[in-house]
Structure 1
């Protein structure tokens, strides 16, 4: 499949999941201009790097990590640069939650209506009970564009970081907590 950058939503809904279409509806309702590339399922950061080349320069390669505390009573969605190492101890100290780990896929599906490999800030639109806290590494916001999946990993979206902060996140009703990761690197 040759990857091509398209403007806006797909021309047809054929073969598209309802949760993906809800993302396009949200972005269109908010007046967010976005570009889209369809591709094979992206399960690794390496696959995402190829997609990011198609999306173009200035797009933040973002890791989306779905985390929880040891008791699985508190859940977090962390957006961080793809090239930054993740250290649970460092994040735990900043958010006051000990023993963070990756949350089980059933919680991902229950709260965000997404599956592993498809984690996206846009999944927060499905967390109407506000069970998941949004954490954003401040370096994610330094890029001009933001890239993410539309709740499935066979498409990727690109829109301005300005729209992420000014339109998308407020509409998701999940106020972000800013964190700074990678401070222990020398």
Structure 2
């Protein structure tokens, strides 16, 4: 996997996919500064670990989930190194049988593909179909990182700026405190 060793500030000068351009437009409209690293597709947390060393910050895990009936959708942001157990999130949200949502729903509501999802794509969920859920430990850091519509770039911004972005695009997060399965003996 190739990672450009340069850490950029601001949007790229070359043409990008429309979703990525729309995210940069919104960040500029809101005057939210960010740093950016460009790289080959980073579709796994292992890829993201390599990007972290260039970006200078942790990359969070973003999981697109739904209920069994596929009528309620959730975007979970959590620490990238923390294992995920659906039973903990289901219990805290008061819903049963959460599972990974189909790629078609991700495309329909967030205009992205698996491996590229982040809170930045909530810009495209104008009907409010996706509920953002943030695991509290993620808020311990000063910055949060994510892909801007496609996993060939990663942006890092101040935590407060990302939360302001999410609110500006019409989403209010739910905060949860998911136990770490490694500490409960379930990992």
CA deviation string 1:117-172 (max 9, x = no partner): 1011011100000000010001111111110000100000011012112x212112
| Number of the residue aligned with 2:66 | 68
Counterpart secondary structure, 1:70: coil
Q: Does residue 175 of the first structure (1) align with residue 175 of the second (2)? A: no
| Number of the residue aligned with 2:41 | 41
Q: 2:83–2:180: 8 Å Cα contact kept in structure 1? A: no
| Number of the residue aligned with 2:137 | 139
- One of 129, 149, 152 as aligned partner of 2:150: 152
Distance 1:62 1:183 in 2: 15
- One of 7, 10, 13 as aligned partner of 1:11: 13
Mapping of 1:116-131 within 5 angstroms? 116-131=114-129
Q: 2:103–2:114: 8 Å Cα contact kept in structure 1? A: yes
Q: 2:135–2:178: 8 Å Cα contact kept in structure 1? A: yes
Distance 1:28 1:177 in 2: 26
Q: Normalized against structure 1, the TM-score is what?
A: 0.94
| Number of the residue aligned with 2:21 | 21
How far did residue 183 of structure 1 move? Answer: 5.3
Distance 1:48 1:180 in 2: 23
| Number of the residue aligned with 1:92 | 90
Unaligned runs of 5+ in 2: none
Segment of structure 1 superposing worse, 168-177 or 69-78: 168-177
Unaligned runs of 5+ in 1: none
4+ long deviations beyond 3 Å: none
Q: Normalized against structure 2, the TM-score is what?
A: 0.93
Q: 2:82–2:180: 8 Å Cα contact kept in structure 1? A: no
Q: 1:63–1:79: 8 Å Cα contact kept in structure 2? A: yes
